Amino acid sequence: MTATTLDLDAAFGALSDPTRRAIVSRLARGPATVGELAEPFDLTLQAVSKHLAVLTRAGLVERHRDAQRRPARLSGPALGELTGWLLDFRAHVAEGYERLDALLADDPRPPSPPTPRARRKP
Amino acid sequence: MTATTLDLDAAFGALSDPTRRAIVSRLARGPATVGELAEPFDLTLQAVSKHLAVLTRAGLVERHRDAQRRPARLSGPALGELTGWLLDFRAHVAEGYERLDALLADDPRPPSPPTPRARRKP
DNA sequence: GCCTTATTCAACTACTTGGTTGTATAGTGA
DNA sequence: TCACTATACAACCAAGTAGTTGAATAAGGC
């Protein structure tokens, strides 16, 4: 409740980096230290530490102290909020599509031109 | 199934910008032209066009031509995939928490020392 | 053909960011 | 205390990006 007031900018931004997604992936299987997290990557510990800082600032990861170590673990609530935001969106999109269908039914245009992504002039 | 092979980097990156999220928000209520999308923002049309390009590259938005206009609309599948990815994650997180509980039950350590973030020397 | 509208491309600037190296802090164990 | 481990901080750099202005392209209407 009240929640973390998740910063969507920071959260989405944090997940836009493949290294950070991999870190999140690993943390999803349980807490880990910076050293453990850094192992699979060809990165300095400092770099991983920075990535963790980004994830922490975004509210996606929590840290605590365990002797010299500062293990990180995922913050469930933030991920939940993020997911909620997207789910909410999908619903709106579905709604939008219905409306679009109505529009198209009124319009003498083919249902959906085959324009998946390619935007090159011939 | 095979799906659009959604580029998570691009998709999350695209959503990490508040302007682009606002654009997506607006598009969720139906297609719109660049001009229409630009109206609520204090931005040039070029800037909005660029944002749309980012969203399109990320597979979140589709464009087509309608006379001089090039209306944009959300691409449902991509949003769905993104949501799926996060949902999948949440499941893993829940799993991870269970495992963590087991760990803590095995460990003579207080559940969570009050170390939120402050790391300053006195 | 010419003018208007809608949008994009190109070049440029200011700022952010992912990475580095080097140094400093915190905690453990001898 | 000293040595060692784990992590963070600071300064820096190369690359990316959000924004700008100005010019170009595309389609319609006259």
- Round to whole Å and give the CA distance between A2 and B72: 35
Closest nucleotide relative to residue B45's CA, C1' based? C7
Residue A3 CA and nucleotide D6 C1' are separated, in Å, by 32
Residues 10-29 of chain B with CB under 8 A from chain A are: 10-13, 15-18, 21, 24-25, 27-29
Per-residue pLDDT reduced to its tens digit, A79-94: 888 888 888 877 777 6
pLDDT of B103: 41
Whether the per-residue pLDDT at A109 is higher than 60: the answer is no
Per-residue pLDDT reduced to its tens digit, B50-89: 999 999 999 999 999 998 899 999 987 888 888 888 888 7
CATH of B1-106, one of 3.40.50.970, 1.10.10.10, 3.20.20.370, 1.20.1250.20: 1.10.10.10
Contact A11, A60 (CB under 8 A): yes
DSSP B23-52: HHHHHTTS-B-HHHHHTTSSS-HHHHHHHH
Per-residue pLDDT reduced to its tens digit, A17-28: 999 999 999 998
Domain A8-75 in CATH 1.10.10.10: yes
Determine if the pTM surpasses 0.85.
no
- The reply to whether B119 touches chain A by the CB within 8 Å rule is no
Which residue in B39, B71, B43 sits closest to B56, CA to CA? B71
Residue with tokens 């709106």: A92
Domain residue spans in chain B?
1-106
Whether the per-residue pLDDT at B1 is higher than 70: the answer is no
